[in-house]
Amino acid sequence: MTLVFLHNDFKVYWRGRLYFLRKFFKERNINIHVIEIFGNESAYSFDESRNQEEWWDCLFETQKFSELSTKEVSCKIMSRLDSLNPDFLVCGPIAFTSGAIGMRWAYKRKKKVILFDDSKHSHYKRSFLVNYIKLNLTNLAEGILVPSTEYDEEYSKWKIKKEKLYYGLNCIDNKYFSSFRSKNFIDSKKIICVARLVPIKNLETLLNCWKTIENSNPEYRLIIIGDGPEQEKLSKVKNDLQLKNVQFLGNQTRQTIAKKLSESEAFILPSYLEGWAMVVNEAMAAGLPVILSEKINAGHTLLKNSINGYSFDPYNPEEITAAILKFINLTIEEKVIMSQKAISEITKYDYKFLGNQLLLGIKNIESKKRKPLSLINFILINLWSGKFKTSNWDKL
């Protein structure tokens, strides 16, 4: 059996998952091949690594979106899939080229398809027509891989049956991040944030809130890892507020991020919106309680309020400040317990859980017969081509 993963790009967090899954399925006599459609203009363009493995293709390594037509991209995807002729296709959301063209190929070649998606569609304002198209096409998939059972309610609103859902999509190498921590809790007086410096991350508000923290708890430091177009603006805000205990470290390697997490007391992310936020997994695996915006999907699954962290409304600076102060004012013993609870909560969401869920999906779907396409879905599947660009995630 051959399983092909298809998406617009597979950078950063996807790499670890795919290397694990290749080994996991190879041990079960299932081959995996990866098709990355684009090499440029990714949401994670700072990841410049290139894969040389024979089982990993990039169809358009250097071309920009503006240089490519939908027809050209579609033809190349269809041609490569035909040459591989997989039994199962695992591809991205129907909103993107990977999901749209992947679904078209799967139905034309009578192959089974599993979509993966960590977004909550109710968070995005779309027209009735766009929602109708995406709902219909998403429901054509035999399976949908999502982060957790917390997404069940979201999909039930779309009239998509729970039996189609499989879990564990957003996972990391938990052992790697936990290995940097020498003990359950370090009284370092550091709170860390790892984020792209873009408006949707709401870091300007965090800096304004930190002024209050610095005035009342001058021993605490805020460490911010990441870069982006707001670097200069945020540095100016820091200077204007005369913040002495805020440090911008820029982009860092995975190893350095793991080390900095291990040296911190807690993690904070004040985003206005997040599809998931994998860095939350990393922070909890490193033993950090998390202080999160209620608009972060990872928090809906992983954060247990007042047990392994705190949540807040990102549009309410007073709530952000109060959440930080709640953590700071805990006793050492309470912080140790919160750290242990963070580790306990994240343990389930590892690569093995993802592998087992995907394997379960394949076994359940393999023998199921597919219903013929309705006329409307036949038209939609042949007209809808999705979008190339995945990098607009940082726009409000």
Q: Which domains does the chain have, with CATH numbers?
A: 2-171+350-394 (3.40.50.2000), 174-346 (3.40.50.2000)
d(CA 354, CA 172): 10
User: 268: helix, coil or strand?
Assistant: strand
Helix (H) or strand (E) holding 144, with range, is strand 143-145
Q: Using alpha carbons, list the distances in angstroms from residue 298 to 43, 63, 281, 307, 353.
A: 18, 33, 8, 15, 16
The position carrying tokens 């990714």 is 42
Residue pair 31/2 in contact (Cβ under 8 Å)? The answer is yes
The region, left, alpha or beta by phi > 0 then psi within -120 to 50, assigned to residue 274 is: beta
For residue 396, what pLDDT is reported?
56
Residue 139 carries which side chain, given as an amino acid letter?
N
Tokens 């699954």: give the residue. 301
Residue 96, beta-bridge partner list:
387
| Bridge partner residues of 116 (DSSP) | 145
- Cα separation, 366 vs 305, in Å, equals 40
Q: Give the contacts of 333 (CB within 8 A, at least 6 positions apart).
A: none
The residue whose two tokens read 């695996």 is 285
Q: Which amino acid is at 132?
A: Y
Q: What is the pLDDT of residue 390?
A: 55
Provide the token pair at 263. 């040296």
Got the DSSP string for 320-340? HHHHHHHHHTS-HHHHHHHHH
Rounded Cα distance between 340 and 289, Å, is: 9
Closest C-alpha to 200, from 228, 172, 222: 228
Give the pLDDT of the chain (396 residues) as one tens digit per residue.
999 999 999 988 899 999 999 999 999 999 999 999 998 766 665 566 667 799 999 999 888 888 899 999 999 999 999 999 999 999 999 999 999 999 999 999 999 999 999 988 777 677 778 888 888 999 999 999 999 999 999 999 888 999 999 999 999 999 999 999 877 778 999 999 999 999 999 999 999 999 999 999 999 999 999 999 999 999 999 999 999 999 999 999 999 999 999 999 999 999 999 989 999 999 999 999 999 999 999 999 999 999 999 999 999 999 999 999 999 999 999 999 999 999 999 999 999 999 999 999 999 999 889 989 999 999 999 999 988 765 554 555
CA dist 199 and 339 (Å) reads 29
Radius of gyration over every alpha carbon of the chain, rounded to an integer in angstroms: 22
Q: Give backbone dihedrals phi and psi of 34, rounded to 5 degrees, phi first.
A: -115, 130
- Tell me what percent of the chain is helix, strand and coil, each rounded to the nearest 5: 45, 15, 35
Cβ(172)–Cβ(285) under 8 Å?
yes
Residues with Cβ within 8 Å of 63's Cβ and at least 6 positions away in sequence, in order, are 38, 39, 40
Model pTM score: 0.92
Taking the CA of residue 325 as centre, how many other CA atoms within 13 Å lie in the half-sphere pointing to its CB?
15
Residues 354 and 341: beta-carbon distance below 8 Å: no
